[in-house]
């Protein structure tokens, strides 16, 4: 079920109403969360429910066994192996078998027609973090199986994050929740902003980007460059929009999820970008891979090694394609000079007008990486980049600002509006937070007018129904 679908527009208020009717009965309320989440997830394919239920049960049981056993590491290892084996079979089996066969010229007869379960990487990592944290004594194992199943399957963040930790989310299902009007209003604002970024910005960019990529070999350098920039805004609007809708929806149910994006395109170097982009995944790799490997405590060369490990794993996490691995390697290489110069922690706070040159340079490096990420293959990525840097790009740079295709104009204006709103709201949890305190919006009528304009934009400036990009991961 897509957040930007009619089905979800009916599903959310219906679940909201029943959920709060059960407010005095915590266990029944949690059971309803599990039921609603399984309906939401099973909307794509009911067979996926068997997999998520098995993953949840294994991780819940492993927590109890880790706590009771004289050899807890054995149960932790078993749970990690089982979960990663499931992930590997469904997501990577064909990739590795196909690569092996291509390398040695073997007939590829072992390829399986396996349907990739939606969001399997997200809920697998969320379940794994629980058993690891129980082993590390960061959280006590829960005996409440219903609360645990709700923690793993909570529908707003189930298929594309944020990847929550048990230390934050599980206790919220183990205690009584109360309805908070102010939080609910803020949640609705965040949902509205997320839908704007997804439907108005990302989906409109997607149409043009797909058109260019389908025929990139015959496009001019300026067209390729423009499409690359638009894809950067497409993937940001798509993924951060999903996170905003997820966090806002959770607030309607009295649940607080962690932020997943903090205006990453206003970063002043690549290190800061990765502290602001997909925060839940990056901190997962830092806590469970980077720090156990030694982090940055054992000298610069080991720091570089550990950085390459987590970026290669992050690339592979995104999908079974060498383009994702190369994309991870590319960002690891960008980190090397920052580590050698000691600038991985150089910036704090939000960017200022004076730092726009650093922001533009960082954005350009990130856009180059997105070309590798978007490409179907390494050869396509190389061909696209070579085509983008041909002489025609320099000769027709004005087309970035005055494109000959009138279809691009609305996209440029919408992106500019999005950038301006995010720039002036970069110090807040999200752009529409506390807008009633702004001088021009203290009047309730003006705020309602603003919401109405955003809603009208969503209705009349749709770019077609595009699935969320990160659903495939």
Lookup: tokens for 361: 């340079």
Question: What CA–CA distance (Å, rounded) separates 135 from 59?
Answer: 12
- Run of H or E residues at 270: helix 270-276
Q: Which two tokens stand for residue 42?
A: 């099973």
* Calpha distance 361→30 (Å, rounded): 47
**Beta carbons of 277 and 214 less than 8 angstroms apart:** no
Say if CB 153 and CB 41 are below 8 A apart.
yes
Q: Which of 194, 239, 248, 157 is nearest to 421 (CA)?
A: 194
- Cα–Cα distance for residue pair 433/388, rounded to 1 Å: 39
| Longest CA span, the chain | 71
List, as one string, the DSSP characters of 204-233: HHHHHHHHHHTTGGGS-HHHHHHHHHHHHH
Given 25, 278, 318, 331, which residue is catalytic?
Answer: 318
Rounded CA separation 205/235 (Å): 9
Query: Are 361 and 438 contacting, i.e. CB atoms less than 8 angstroms apart?
Result: no
What the block records as the tokens of 379 is: 């050869």
Any residues with CB less than 8 A from the CB of 225 and at least 6 apart, and which? 388, 393, 400
Q: Is 318 assigned a catalytic role?
A: yes
For 389, which DSSP code? T
CA dihedral 468, 350, 125, 197 (to 10 degrees): -10
Alpha helices in 137-220 (DSSP H): 145-153, 166-173, 181-195, 203-213
Q: Which two tokens stand for residue 10?
A: 């009916």
Count other C-beta atoms under 10 Å from residue 103's C-beta: 8
**How many whole angstroms separate alpha carbon 23 and alpha carbon 452?**
32
List, by residue number, the catalytic residues: 318
């Amino acid at each position: 079920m897509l957040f930007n679908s009619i089905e979800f527009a009916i599903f959310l208020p219906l679940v909201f109403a029943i959920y709060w009717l059960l407010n005095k009965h915590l266990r029944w309320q949690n059971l309803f969360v599990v039921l609603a989440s399984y309906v939401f997830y099973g909307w794509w394919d009911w067979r996926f429910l068997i997999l998520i239920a098995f993953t949840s049960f294994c991780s819940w049981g492993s927590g109890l066994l880790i706590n009771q056993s004289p050899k807890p590491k054995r149960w932790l290892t078993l749970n990690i192996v089982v979960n990663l084996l499931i992930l590997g079979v469904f997501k990577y089996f064909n990739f590795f078998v196909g690569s092996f066969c291509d390398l040695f010229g073997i007939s590829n007869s072992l390829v399986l027609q396996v349907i990739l379960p939606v969001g399997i990487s997200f809920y697998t990592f969320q379940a794994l973090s629980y058993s690891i944290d129980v082993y590390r004594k960061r959280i006590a194992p829960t005996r409440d199986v219903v609360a645990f199943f709700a923690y793993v399957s909570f529908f707003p963040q189930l298929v594309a994050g944020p990847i929550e930790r048990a230390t934050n989310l599980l206790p919220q299902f183990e205690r009584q929740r109360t309805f908070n009007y102010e939080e609910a209003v803020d949640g609705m604002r965040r949902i509205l902003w997320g839908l704007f970024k997804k439907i108005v910005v990302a989906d409109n960019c997607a149409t043009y980007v797909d058109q260019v990529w389908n025929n990139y070999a015959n496009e001019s350098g300026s067209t390729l460059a423009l499409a690359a920039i638009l894809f950067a805004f497409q993937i940001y609007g798509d993924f951060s929009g999903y996170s905003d809708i997820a966090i806002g929806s959770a607030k309607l149910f009295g649940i607080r999820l962690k932020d997943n994006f903090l205006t990453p395109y206003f970063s002043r170097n690549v290190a800061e970008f990765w502290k602001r982009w997909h925060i839940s995944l990056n901190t997962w790799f830092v806590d469970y891979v980077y720090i156990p490997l030694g982090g940055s405590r054992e000298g610069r060369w080991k720091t570089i090694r550990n950085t390459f490990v987590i970026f290669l794993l992050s690339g592979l996490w995104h999908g079974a394609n060498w383009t994702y691995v190369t994309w991870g390697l590319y960002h690891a290489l960008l980190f090397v000079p920052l580590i050698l110069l000691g600038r991985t922690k150089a910036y704090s706070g939000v960017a200022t007008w004076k730092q726009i040159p650093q922001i533009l340079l960082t954005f350009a490096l990130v856009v180059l990486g997105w070309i590798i990420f978007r490409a179907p293959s390494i050869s396509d990525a190389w061909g696209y980049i070579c085509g983008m840097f041909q002489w025609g790009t320099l000769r027709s740079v004005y087309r970035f600002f005055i494109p000959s295709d009138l279809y691009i104009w609305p996209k440029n204006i919408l992106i500019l509006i999005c950038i301006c709103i995010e720039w002036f709201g970069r110090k807040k949890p999200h752009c529409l937070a506390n807008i009633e305190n702004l001088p021009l919006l203290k009047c309730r009528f003006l705020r309602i007018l603003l919401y109405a304009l955003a809603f009208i934009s969503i209705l009349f400036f749709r770019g077609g129904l595009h699935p969320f990009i990160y659903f495939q991961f």
